[in-house]
């Protein structure tokens, strides 16, 4: 037996999303844990895929992506945020948001560089930074409002700060950044060479008439930002694993040096299908309203229960407190809920390095009405 080399990520196990989905399947529970829709994507989109596959578009796409798709992406960003990206030199189609994040970190973070993240943080940020020798500095956002104290964030900045990672709308809290937050961020990075990695994969899922303030709207931020988005969330196709990174040319040039050796290029017929589908803007402009109805249905159904409902301004996740029901930690509570009450959720503590426990769990409401109804029924019994 050979002696195994030391793990490069000795503290990392299997992601909480895979764990909870597995537990849900083992217990035949309603799976509101991992974030994915349980309904079909639009048939029109599927027909486009079918068309391009059968038409013979089955070989490598150009490394940065199909130009028709990159043009639709830049058109979308311009229409939504009045920001201009050059389709050919400033957009790279990636194999999902996670790959875009990985590549962005791999491209810029070197040994001992510091990267600031906001917790609860999506679980890939920290291990990816560590893999490239970076050091994570964290600001903890806390239940119930998950507000950011920018004075504290400023204190995390040093001459080693290479990057700040933001996630807006935030998974798992469902909070969005406000104008004031972005103005504070502008002040922090002004006259520095700090880069921003802006994970905006839930960009179109914002509720109650609020506006998604993309980093692209702010020239002082855009010039230093790698903006990451995901078609999985936009068109209910998380299993297609396709997204993109938009960034100024100089940053994109560097990003593609890594991208070309990591994935090289992304699924050709799906890129073409997405481009054709995106010609109709209604396909993404109504997403907020679509999910708002699901959010409201879930919130209404849970209003009379012992769960506490935290604000949900965006994403397709509803955060729930359960301190009236149990004093167990959130991981044990979520496991028990799956096994005994047949509803799987995601606990918040894995989104914190110190496993901070505010007794909060996350439910995904990107589900059919009947799925939500069954979940509400089970949760009402607690
Ligand atoms: N983004 C999804 C979520 O938050 C999970 C994706 C994954 O399982 N890697 O649930």
Q: Tell me: the pLDDT tens digits for 271-291?
A: 999 999 999 999 999 999 999
Q: Which atom of ligand 1 is nearest to the CA of 97?
A: 1
pLDDT tens digits, 175-219 = 999 999 999 999 999 999 999 999 999 999 999 999 999 999 999
Q: What is the pLDDT of residue 130?
A: 97
Q: Once rounded to an integer, what is the mean pLDDT over residues 341-359?
A: 96
The kind and range of the H/E element at 272 are: helix 268-278
* Atom 9 in ligand 1: residue holding the nearest Cα: 17
CATH (residue range 58-280)? 3.40.640.10
Rounded CA separation 26/339 (Å):
9
Q: What is the pLDDT of residue 186?
A: 98
Q: Which atom of ligand 1 is nearest to the CA of 238?
A: 6
pLDDT tens digits, 146-175 = 999 999 999 999 999 999 999 999 999 999
Q: What is the pLDDT of residue 276?
A: 98
The answer to whether the beta carbons of residues 61 and 268 sit under 8 Å apart is: yes
Report which of 296, 297, 288 is spatially closest to residue 315, judged by C-alpha positions.
288
Ranges assigned E (strand) in the chain: 30-31, 91-94, 114-119, 135-140, 161-167, 195-199, 225-230, 243-246, 308-309, 317-321, 343-344, 346-347, 360-364
**pLDDT tier at 230, thresholds 50, 70, 90:** very high
Domain 16-41+285-379 = CATH 3.90.1150.10: yes
Residue 1 has pLDDT above 90, yes or no: no
Best residue among 13, 34, 99, 201 to mutate for probing ligand 1, ranked by most atoms within 8 Å of CB: 34
Best residue among 16, 35, 125, 367 to mutate for probing ligand 1, ranked by most atoms within 8 Å of CB: 35
3-class DSSP state of 41: coil
Best residue among 14, 15, 16, 17 to mutate for probing ligand 1, ranked by most atoms within 8 Å of CB: 17
How far, in Å, from the CA of 135 to the mean position of ligand 1?
24
Residue 11 has pLDDT above 90, yes or no: no
pLDDT tens digits, 14-49 = 999 999 999 999 999 999 999 999 999 999 999 999
Rounded CA separation 113/159 (Å):
9
* Atom 4 in ligand 1: residue holding the nearest Cα: 35
Query: Could you state, in order of their start, the residue ranges of all structural domains in the chain?
Result: 16-41+285-379, 58-280
Rounded CA separation 111/230 (Å):
29
Cα 100 → chain centroid = 11
Q: What is the pLDDT of residue 203?
A: 98
Q: Once rounded to an integer, what is the mean pLDDT over residues 342-357?
A: 96
With a Cβ cut-off of 6 Å, ligand 1 is lined by 15, 17, 34-35, 171
3-class DSSP state of 293: helix
């Amino acid at each position: 037996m050979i002696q195994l080399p030391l793990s490069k990520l000795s503290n990392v196990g299997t992601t909480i999303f895979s764990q909870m989905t597995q537990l849900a399947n083992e217990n035949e529970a309603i799976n509101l844990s991992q974030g994915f829709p349980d309904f079909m994507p639009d048939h029109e989109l599927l027909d486009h895929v079918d068309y391009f596959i059968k038409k013979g578009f089955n070989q490598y796409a150009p490394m940065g992506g199909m130009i028709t798709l990159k043009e639709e992406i830049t058109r979308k960003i311009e229409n939504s945020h009045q920001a201009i990206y050059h389709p050919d030199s400033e957009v790279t189609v990636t194999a999902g948001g996670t790959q875009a994040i990985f590549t962005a970190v791999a491209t810029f973070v070197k040994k001992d560089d510091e990267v600031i993240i906001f917790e609860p943080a999506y679980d890939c940020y920290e291990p990816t930074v560590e893999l490239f020798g970076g050091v994570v500095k964290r600001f903890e956002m806390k239940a119930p409002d998950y507000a950011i104290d920018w004075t504290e964030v400023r204190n995390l900045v040093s001459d080693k700060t290479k990057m700040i990672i933001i996630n807006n709308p935030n998974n798992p809290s469902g909070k969005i950044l406000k104008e004031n937050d972005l103005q504070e961020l502008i002040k922090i990075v002004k006259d520095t060479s700090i880069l921003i990695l802006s994970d905006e994969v839930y960009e179109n899922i914002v509720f109650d008439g609020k506006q998604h303030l993309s980093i692209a709207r702010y020239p002082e931020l855009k010039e230093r930002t790698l903006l990451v988005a995901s078609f999985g969330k936009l068109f209910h196709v998380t299993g297609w694993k396709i997204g993109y990174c938009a960034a100024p040319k100089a940053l994109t040039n560097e990003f593609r040096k890594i991208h070309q050796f990591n994935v090289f290029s992304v699924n050709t017929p799906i890129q073409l299908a997405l481009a054709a589908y995106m010609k109709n803007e209604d396909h993404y402009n109504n997403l907020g309203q679509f999910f708002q109805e699901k959010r409201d249905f879930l919130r209404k159904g849970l209003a009379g229960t012992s769960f506490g409902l935290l604000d949900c301004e965006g994403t397709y996740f509803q955060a729930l407190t359960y301190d009236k029901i149990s004093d167990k930690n959130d991981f044990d509570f979520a496991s028990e809920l799956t096994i005994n009450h047949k509803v799987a959720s995601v606990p918040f503590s894995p989104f914190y390095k110190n496993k901070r426990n505010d007794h909060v769990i996350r439910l995904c409401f990107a589900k059919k009405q009947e799925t939500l109804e069954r979940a509400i029924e089970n949760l009402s019994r607690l």
